[in-house]
Amino acid sequence: MTYVVIARYRTRPDAERTVLPLLDVMATLSRQEPGCLCYRVHQGIEDPRTIVLYEEYASEADFTAHCASPHFQEIVLGTVVPLLESRDVLRCEPRPEVVA
């Protein structure tokens, strides 16, 4: 089973111009990590200050390793988070499929 993380960021006014290129770098580096199956950055249509990250990992341990990576620490925690008004992170795992 995979481990999915959905993060929703709302940037400070005009900060999306700084945050989005940083998250593009983050996505490129994250996709190279063992266990990272998907890392996508989305920007809100109605509200361009809203950014949603969709991340999928082979396991929770792979996500934990991702959070400990130097690029996560530097880019996300060190640079992006201070430019945000809000940050919500939802961690998910798939429900078992029901066979009829």
Task: Print pLDDT tens along the chain (100 aa).
Answer: 799 999 999 999 999 999 999 999 999 999 999 999 999 999 999 999 999 999 999 999 999 999 999 999 999 999 999 999 999 999 998 888 777 6
Q: What is the pLDDT of residue 93?
A: 86
CA dist 10 and 15 (Å) reads 9
Name the maximum alpha-carbon separation found in the chain.
Answer: 51
CA dist 3 and 26 (Å) reads 19
Q: Judge whether 98 lies within some domain.
A: no
Number of domains in the chain: 1
Q: What is the pLDDT of residue 66?
A: 98
Q: Judge whether 68 lies within some domain.
A: yes
pTM: 0.91
Q: Judge whether 31 lies within some domain.
A: yes
- Expressed as residue numbers, the domain containing 43 is 3-92
